Homo-oligomer: A and B are copies of this chain.
């Protein structure tokens, strides 16, 4: 193993791998896109606006376990995750292409459940399946590509990017981050039947993409945002790096899910809000007034911090005691961590 070439790729982290691939693709990578690789989705100009596209791969055992969710939940979540990448750009999702790899143990009932979950999430999110592929393999897996559009705006296209945070901006988050991670933690602790945690289970098994909020944010003039898929702190870090700014947030301002505080305690709920993934809530960055105007009773938008010129690329969490707080986990790297994506 002295030669790098013989090393396994599992020795490299996700973001190192992506950098390596993009560099090696060289001219075969579309560096001149309106939004090149590295954001939630790629975007390129069309005759009447912007086309936005993204792809995700999900593999049984890595991205879901059938002992914590039903096949319908797997299908629902896969669609949500892709639609969320378009929501995070402020785009209108239109079509999905779905490639399904059928593992040897998959039953027809399993497949029917998977397809039903996909169909339900499509109807809920207003997207439709335009095509797909079905193949066999040693493990069940799904790859979904999503296409959407943003109309108008040839000069300054109304889309949300990771690289547009500026010192002085405020930082907001939708919903109650950590709910999905709390749901999974309770399922794994054998507490799924408890009363009062239904919204946490739903957040894990039937998460919702914030399509209307993303579009409203872009239409209102905001230009910076992304969705929380790897964990709030890690995803804020992506914005800090892409924008070359620092971000500071106040732990006390985080909108923790009340059910998670009740069931797990405030410290665990806080850590899940900071480091849990797959909430699919939106981080939005911009002027305070623009953010506050997006807050509604249905989808709360809460101010949690500010963008600063100091500490570029870093995210600082101020704890209730006035000291910087470091949670046990900042987020999720799916090429290195083992087991299901979790808090």
A binding-site residues for B, Cβ under 8 Å: 4-12, 14, 17-18, 20-21, 24-30, 33, 36-37, 41-42, 44, 46-48, 51, 53-59, 61-63, 94-95, 97-102, 104-112, 115-116, 118-120, 122-123, 128-139, 141, 143, 145, 147, 334-336
- Chain B residues with CB below 8 A from A98, complex form: 55
- Chain B residues with CB below 8 A from A53, complex form: 95, 97, 130-131, 145, 147
If A21-B134, A131-B37, A136-B335 touch, whether A9 touches B59 (CB-CB below 8 Å) is: no
**Is chain A's interface secondary structure helix, strand, loop, or mixed overall?**
mixed
10 tightest A-B CB contacts, nearest first:
A143-B143, A145-B145, A57-B99, A5-B109, A42-B130, A59-B137, A55-B97, A28-B122, A28-B119, A42-B131
- 20 further A-B contacts with Cβ under 8 Å, apart from A51-B51, A59-B137, are A4-B108, A5-B109, A7-B108, A9-B102, A9-B107, A10-B136, A21-B100, A27-B123, A27-B128, A37-B129, A42-B131, A44-B130, A48-B48, A51-B147, A54-B97, A56-B99, A57-B100, A59-B136, A62-B137, A101-B141
Q: Are B44 and A47 in contact, with the CB atoms below 8 A?
A: no
- Chain B residues with CB below 8 A from A44, complex form: 94-95, 130
Q: Are A55 and B131 in contact, with the CB atoms below 8 A?
A: yes
- Chain B residues with CB below 8 A from A147, complex form: 51, 53, 147
- Of residues A27, A46, A62, A133, which shows the largest number of chain B Cβ atoms within 10 Å of its Cβ? A133
- Chain B residues with CB below 8 A from A94, complex form: 44
- Chain B residues with CB below 8 A from A128, complex form: 27-30
CB distance from A64 to the nearest CB of B (A): 12
- Chain B residues with CB below 8 A from A4, complex form: 108
- Chain B residues with CB below 8 A from A131, complex form: 37, 41-42, 53-55
If A97-B42, A130-B53 touch, whether A58 touches B107 (CB-CB below 8 Å) is: no
- Chain B residues with CB below 8 A from A118, complex form: 25, 28
CB nearest neighbor in B for A131: B42
CB distance from A93 to the nearest CB of B (A): 12
If A8-B106, A53-B97, A115-B21 touch, whether A137 touches B134 (CB-CB below 8 Å) is: no
CB distance from A298 to the nearest CB of B (A): 24
